[in-house]
Structure 1
């Protein structure tokens, strides 16, 4: 058991905590649980975790505030946020505070498992410990929204930064247009396609044949990182 990845589940809903504990233990993880941010802080004070699954909306201190303070303390533990808030602005807020990924409730347990395994794999490789992802000659810092090619900064619009944050946090996992669009409409989907094409102009040698930011038919877009 000591060799298994140790995950801290933080959620004020007892039923969800128990379901997550059972499901994740059955899939090869050690699990601890906390009902509040204060309880989570106490557990993290005495034990290091490989990953935190954290609800945003909790009484008292929110998951956003807890994540922000962890990053201010230079605690680089990967954080996967859970929330019933599905608006893109809420996902962006979660990523801006320093979370590594964001999953809207209700979610498929298998998707949660894929996200967790992806984050742990990236942590093992050392990429997210610096808050950065790299692809080809580019390095993107998730919190600052900074993209560099070697030593040269690449200028991004605010919308391009938002898109790249979401795609980088979900690196290797397809992101649906509806998760990037401000609203689930045909016009919103077209707007996403336009923004993706503009991003490709900045990060692809051949935007018509992308290597890093690819389309996944029927699923959306995926950013492939090193």
Structure 2
């Protein structure tokens, strides 16, 4: 499992569902931690950072709705509620407490996977839309197209700034050389490779072993900030 895989916390008092989702989501590329109660979930949240919570509404003790409301007072971690209550008022209550989405029980695991991916794409886009992106000792301003390493500005050509923005717009996605072309006359594949190598010399400590702008053999390139 890659270290940058999204980390999901599944909270459900039904052990069978917890284990099913842990196995299914793990098989689909996610890191998964489970908890059986809101109290266990709070303990997990105190020690780990999560990209999304899958949270059952009807739990003994503190309910999923109560935990959602409490978390929203201090965290914007995405929350997907699992609820056996299909009535509209109950769904609305969950959204009013700050949940990002809900899924009535019983559900197909594949639908849960689709909803999780939708939420993560949206939140990733919101993070990308922030004015500044940090990776290593570099800082890139998406509004001005300017790059710094530490406190020193690094000159980027217009094309290099354009490439940075393309990668930042699709963080974590593999971009083909066609994706990276500058319009219809964007040059040959070799030209793209040369441009990438020049950009690497400005953002990587070791351009021959890049950490951030990595090659996906036979396909293209992927940008992986910290």
Q: Which residue in 2 is equivalent to 1:104?
A: 104
Q: Which residue in 1 is equivalent to 2:19?
A: 18
Q: Secondary structure at the match of 2:86?
A: coil
Distance 1:107 1:23 in 2: 13
Q: Which residue in 1 is equivalent to 2:95?
A: 95
- What is the TM-score of this pair, normalised by structure 2? 0.55
Q: Secondary structure at the match of 2:118?
A: helix
Q: Secondary structure at the match of 1:31?
A: strand
- What is the TM-score of this pair, normalised by structure 1? 0.55
Which of the pair has more CA radius of gyration?
2
Matches within 5 A, 1:159-178: none
Matches within 5 A, 1:53-68: 53-68=54-69
After superposition, the C-alpha distances for 1:21-60 in whole angstroms (9 at most, x for unaligned) are 0110011100000000011011101111000000000000
Distance 1:14 1:98 in 2: 26
Matches within 5 A, 1:22-171: 22-73=23-74, 75-126=75-126
Distance 1:90 1:36 in 2: 20
Distance 2:29 2:92 in 1: 30
After superposition, the C-alpha distances for 1:128-147 in whole angstroms (9 at most, x for unaligned) are x9xxxxxxxxxxxxxxxxxx
After superposition, the CA RMSD in angstroms is: 1.6
Measure how far apart 1:110 and its partner are. Answer: 1.1
Q: Secondary structure at the match of 2:106?
A: coil
Q: Which residue in 1 is equivalent to 2:159?
A: none
Distance 2:28 2:104 in 1: 21
Name stretches of at least 5 consecutive residues in structure 1 with no aligned partner.
130-226
Distance 1:24 1:78 in 2: 16
Measure how far apart 1:3 and its partner are. Answer: 1.3
Distance 1:38 1:123 in 2: 26
Q: Secondary structure at the match of 2:46?
A: helix
The number of residues matched between the two structures is 128
Distance 1:38 1:122 in 2: 28
Distance 2:58 2:88 in 1: 16
Name stretches of at least 5 consecutive residues in structure 2 with no aligned partner.
130-226
After superposition, the C-alpha distances for 1:104-145 in whole angstroms (9 at most, x for unaligned) are 000111110100000000110117x9xxxxxxxxxxxxxxxx
